[in-house]
């Protein structure tokens, strides 16, 4: 009687479960479903991230290497089905290009100028922020503002500050606030960034801008580091009559060294990738009027090459990568000796 009333699915379930309840099958299922899954589940969880990284990071890297090694590669030719020869012509073309040395010089100069200055200032400001009690929250917010502001927008503001528009008259039509201040102190107007301006004046403008732009992130990291230092070290130092300078050099700096190393290394990496800040201040021409590309950088070079010669751009990108790699390795080597984790 009961047999009749059981539905088809129930019968199916019974037969299936009978089948799987046999020991061999059970063992097999456990193996497949459980152990195998256990072994590979890490990969399954990682899959979404891995797929995205493959598409947007790993594949482009290999593609860059491929393009850089194909003579005269451009996507237009590739679409037309042109066969490229294998060779290092792209690299030699980059190195022979007369603007490339200028790009390299500007990049290195700006990095070497801005990283020490911004790190030092950030440390100074972080220590000050850490020691004041009143308004520290408000000041922290203010110091963090540049970080959340668009660098092109900041660039335009900086351009306005340093700019000067010469009319036909005895005095310029428009004078930026920097020159107004200089005048107030009895100095003469300086042509910071307009036609005919000096290279060093341009570099000065960019240094100020990049340092200012780099400060908030560095302050944030260093302030976090300072706040995580156990206060008892300072109390112990106080009991031992440690002079303030010695507390700073022998306790604060060593305990902060991991953060300092991080800030310096990322600063160098960021410095070598400088581009948008110069476009922000000087515009697409990357230099004052009449002296285009005077402040061209590595990334600027790569960016323009992408337009018509991807092979050259890829080669330049790999050269930049090699430079950053070497500099970072030197950084890590030095910091390993000086850092106390």
Partner 1 sequence: MKVELKNLTKIFPSRNKKAGGEVVAVNDFNFTIPDGKLVGLLGPSGCGKSTTLYMISGLQKPTSGQIFFGDEDVTELTPENRGIGLVFQNYALYPHMTVKQNILFPLQNLRGEDKLPKEEMLERAYRVAKLVQIDELMDRKPSELSGGQQQRVAIARALVKMPRVLLLDEPLSNLDARLRLQTREEIRRIQKETGITTIFVTHDQEEAMSISDVIVVMKLGVVQQTGKPQQIYDDPCNLFVAKFLGTPPINVFNGEVKGEVLYIGGAAVLSVPGVEDKAVFVGIRPEGFIPDEAGGLLCEVSGVDVMGRDVSIVSKHKEMLTPSVRSIVDADYTLAEGQREVRYALKPHKVFLFDKTTEERIYFGV
* CA–CA separation, 312 and 45 (whole Å): 38
Torsion of CA 81, 83, 89, 94, to 10 degrees: 10
Least separation in angstroms between residue 335's CB and partner 1 is: 14
Query: Residue 244 CB, nearest distance to partner 1 (Å)?
Result: 11
Q: How many residues are there in the chain?
A: 341
Task: Name the residue nearer to partner 1 (CB basis): 13 or 233.
Answer: 233
**Cβ closer to partner 1: 41 or 246?**
246
- In this structure, the strands spanning 164-165 and 174-175 are antiparallel
Nearest-approach distance from CB 50 to partner 1, in angstroms:
36
**DSSP run (H or E) holding 183:** helix 177-184
Q: Are 274 and 113 in contact (CB under 8 A)?
A: no
Distance CA 277, CA 214 (A): 11
Q: In this complex, which beta carbon is closest to partner 1, that of residue 83 or of residue 240?
A: 240
Which CB, 184 or 241, lies closer to partner 1? Answer: 241
Cα distance from N-terminal residue to C-terminal residue, the chain: 77
Nearer to partner 1, 136 or 207 (CB): 136
Q: Most distant CA pair in the chain: distance in Å?
A: 114
Least distance in angstroms from the C-beta of 321 to partner 1: 34
CB of 247 to partner 1, least distance (A): 10
Contact positions toward partner 1, by CB under 8 A?
230, 232-233, 235-236, 238-243, 246, 250-251, 254-255, 257, 340
CA distance 194 to 201: 10
Q: Which C-beta is closer to partner 1: that of 11 or that of 238?
A: 238
Least distance in Å: CB of 251 to partner 1?
6
Q: Would you tell me how many other CB atoms lie within 10 Å of the CB of residue 319?
A: 20
């Amino acid at each position: 009687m009961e047999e009749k009333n059981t539905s088809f699915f129930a019968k199916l379930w019974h037969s299936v479960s009978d089948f799987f309840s046999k020991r061999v099958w059970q063992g097999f299922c456990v193996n497949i479903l459980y152990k195998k899954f256990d072994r590979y589940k890490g990969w399954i969880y990682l899959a979404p991230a891995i797929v995205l990284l493959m598409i947007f990071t790993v594949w482009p890297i290999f593609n860059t290497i491929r393009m850089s090694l194909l003579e005269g590669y451009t996507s237009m030719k590739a679409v037309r089905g042109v066969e490229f020869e294998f060779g290092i012509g792209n690299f030699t073309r980059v190195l022979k290009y007369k603007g490339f040395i200028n790009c390299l010089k500007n990049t290195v100069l700006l990095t070497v100028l801005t990283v020490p200055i911004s790190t030092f200032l950030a440390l100074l400001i972080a220590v000050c922020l850490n020691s004041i009690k009143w308004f520290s929250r408000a000041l922290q917010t203010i110091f963090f503002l540049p970080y959340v502001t668009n660098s092109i927008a900041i660039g335009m503001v900086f351009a306005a500050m340093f700019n000067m528009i010469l009319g036909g008259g005895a005095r310029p039509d428009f004078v930026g606030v920097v020159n107004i201040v200089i005048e107030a102190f009895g100095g003469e107007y300086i042509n910071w960034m307009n036609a005919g301006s000096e290279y060093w004046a341009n570099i000065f403008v960019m240094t100020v801008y990049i340092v200012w732009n780099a400060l908030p992130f560095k302050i944030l990291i260093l302030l976090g580091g300072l706040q995580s230092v156990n206060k008892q070290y300072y109390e112990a130092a106080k009991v031992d009559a440690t002079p303030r300078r010695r507390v700073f050099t022998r306790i604060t700096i060593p305990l902060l060294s991991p953060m300092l190393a991080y800030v310096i290394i990322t600063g160098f990496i960021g410095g070598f990738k400088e581009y948008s800040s110069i476009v922000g201040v000087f515009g697409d021409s990357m230099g004052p009027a009449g002296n285009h590309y005077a402040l061209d950088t590595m990334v600027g070079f790569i960016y323009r090459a992408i337009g018509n010669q991807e092979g050259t751009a890829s080669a330049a990108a790999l050269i930049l990568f090699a430079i950053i790699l070497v500099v970072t390795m030197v950084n890590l080597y030095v910091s390993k000796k000086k850092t106390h984790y």
